[in-house]
Amino acid sequence: MKKFKLIIVGIFFAFNAVSQDYADTVLDTTLLQEMVVTASKVLQPKGLITQKIDVITQDDILGRISENRNIADVLKNQAGASVSVLSRNDANWGTFGGIGPKYSTFMLNGLPIDAFVDPMTLDLMAVERIEVQRGPASVMYSNYLSQDFAGNQSPLAGTINMILKERFEKPATAFLTSFGSYNTYTSQLYHQNSYGNTHYFTGLNYERSDYTDYGIENSWLNMQKNPEYQKTKIYGGLSWFSDDDRQKFSLFANRTMHNGDAGRLYRGFDHNYNLINAGYSMKLTNQLTLQAGIGYRNYDRSWQESNFNIVDSLLSNNGVVQNIVPADVSVSYIHGRGHLLTAGIDYQGADYFTWGDPLVGYKSYGNKSTAMQTGVYVQEELRFDKLIVRAGLRFNYTKNNIAFLNNWAPVQSTKEWDKLLYSGGLKYNAIEYLSVFANVGTSFMTPGLRSVGGTIQANDTVNSGQIPNPDLLPEAGLGIDAGIELRLPYNISFTARGFMLSVEDAIVENVVSQNPSQTMSVNAGETSSTGAEVEIKHSIGNSLEWFANATYMKTEVKNPHDADQDGATVPFAPELIANVGISYTAPFGLSITPIVNYNDGFYDSSSKSGRNFFKPGLVLNAHIAMNIYEKNNNNVTCFVNLYNITDNQYELPWQFKDTGFSVTGGLRVNF
């Protein structure tokens, strides 16, 4: 009851600000920069928000290479991001802000998606831009109730919002075909058009490959053949706008079918993913806007386990099914002279179960549960001339109902948690070329069912999977950042940002066994990451751009109850990452984009006695394209993608490895 009272008090003070009359917000050339939506859920100039947000455009995406066909690959050149995609068929276990892989969420038009799965399933042709918010976002956006992989996900370190295309001035069609290393063939078709007030797009992406052995020598993967795979993505979206442009309805659907094998006769997999996003917004008055969104995410994965002998034999069929429904309703009110009040409620419902077929003719449940969470939030953004002040509150409630836990009825079938979170920020546009900012926010995350119940028995020494830990506690996080932004002459921009992230009772993934691949989630006392990042960007005319950034992070696990963990570094968190890239476009249509990524290494566990160290080091990629025909907005471009030019076959956790140098070439036709 006290927490509800605190929310009422916070809302009262926020609405009380409506009646006050403040000075005009300065809207000079310093602040009228590119528009972003993630920080406040409505479009605003970047100069009017306290958080640090990067925007990755379609042009940026074209120049970045995604060897593993994972959207996370496109983000690896951002400051603070460490990407560790295990293979084309496996998820990213990288970290954002050094605090671990599950503390920065992914969203699609502001609704959460799975940070481990969905970057493998969505097609970037449907995306207009990607907004990367660095720093805590846990008040305006909820956790994601994924029970799989590392469990639930929280936007403590930030969030990544993929904004879909919605308006088209003219029809356009794009066709891409390419062929490259490992007999990889890709074919992609995309079309966009409008009819009256309705704008729509649709696309198809097909890829197949023999691939190659992505395990180290004597790996538990025991590949005896090329690990073949096929992946098909079918998607489409539409947006309808009213005649007066005060209403908008949007709908997007995606289906991805991914099947193949892991390099052995009885190590097949068959994964099917379905995603739906629907949104509606209405401008009730010139000051008041209503927004609503609802989605559906379905993850249906199955795979085989085998006995590896002279002749392979099938051991079992296994699978996991997840259904998640996120929803969000908010209102945004512009009051006074440019102030913004946002209030809303969000909801998620989720069900999750794992199954196994030990070749006895029937499937049996391993874990089975349902979960729900709801949150009420409010945020006020006040603009006093050059000063911007932001404050927000969220009340979160989560409930889990567990039917089966590791093949058994649980001792406690229902668990409930609630938490009051806060967020605040300041930004001062001191002079035309200088801004300083600071932000603070909290988060709260319950353990996922996979972490609690596992996917294999506690005493299993044969199969790969997650070992159960039913004694896990929820974790609470705190994030703080501060920095400066300089907009210098000659189109030079410079940013420096310091950050501190900490999580009490942090749930981290320990690699218990490399062979077979087994992990277990554990509470690691307090986990912290303190760091600083600097970046510079410079554009010279219309032909040359370059950037450089570096991030230093000092991470630590404090666990006085376990000497083996106390003083260890956070798993998957490197100490230093750096990126340098150049993009050059010649007058005759040639474009070259080389990018260097450096990662000085990370551990796979918080156990000092059982951890392994991995050092990716330096990876050099280059995208080269030549426009060979252009007339009346029709063009044909040939391209070559060179990945890992120095053939750096560095090792990754669970006895995976980077496959080294590869090349892909093809044609892109726009008409």
Judge residue 217's burial from the number of C-beta atoms within 10 Å of its C-beta, 0-12 exposed, 13-18 middle, 19 or more buried.
exposed
Judge residue 309's burial from the number of C-beta atoms within 10 Å of its C-beta, 0-12 exposed, 13-18 middle, 19 or more buried.
exposed
Tell me: the pLDDT tens digits for 211-270? 999 999 988 888 999 999 999 999 999 999 999 999 999 999 999 999 999 999 889 999
Q: Are 106 and 113 in contact (CB under 8 A)?
A: yes
Distance CA 197, CA 158 (A): 35
- Would you say residue 164 lies in a domain? no
Distance CA 525, CA 485 (A): 35
Distance CA 622, CA 73 (A): 14
Tell me: the pLDDT tens digits for 509-541? 777 787 788 888 887 778 899 999 999 999 998
- Section 375-398 average pLDDT: 96
- Would you say residue 167 lies in a domain? no
CATH label of the domain that carries residue 255: 2.40.170.20
Distance CA 555, CA 499 (A): 12
Radius of gyration of the chain (CA): 25
Tell me: the pLDDT tens digits for 170-188? 999 999 999 999 999 999 9
HEC states along 315-345? EEEEEEEEEEEEEEEEEEEEECCCEEEEEEE
List the domain range (segments joined by +) for residue 508: 2-159+172-560+568-670
Closest to 285 (Cα-Cα) out of 339, 332, 344, 336: 332
Token couple for 21: 């009359």
- Would you say residue 401 lies in a domain? yes
Task: Report the amino acid identity of residue 207.
Answer: E
Other beta carbons within 10 Å of 640: 15
Q: Is the pLDDT of residue 17 over 70?
A: no
Number of separate domains in the chain: 1
Distance CA 251, CA 190 (A): 17
- Would you say residue 489 lies in a domain? yes
Task: Report the amino acid identity of residue 298.
Answer: N
Range scoring the smallest mean pLDDT among 129-133, 178-182, 466-470, 554-558: 466-470
Q: Is the pLDDT of residue 562 over 80?
A: no
The residues pairing with 28 across neighbouring beta strands, listed in sequence order, are none
Distance CA 257, CA 259 (A): 7
HEC states along 247-294? EEEEEEEEEEEEEEECCCCCCEEEEEEEEEEEEEEEECCCCEEEEEEE
- Would you say residue 71 lies in a domain? yes
Q: Is the pLDDT of residue 614 over 50?
A: yes
- Would you say residue 644 lies in a domain? yes
Q: Are 524 and 508 in contact (CB under 8 A)?
A: yes
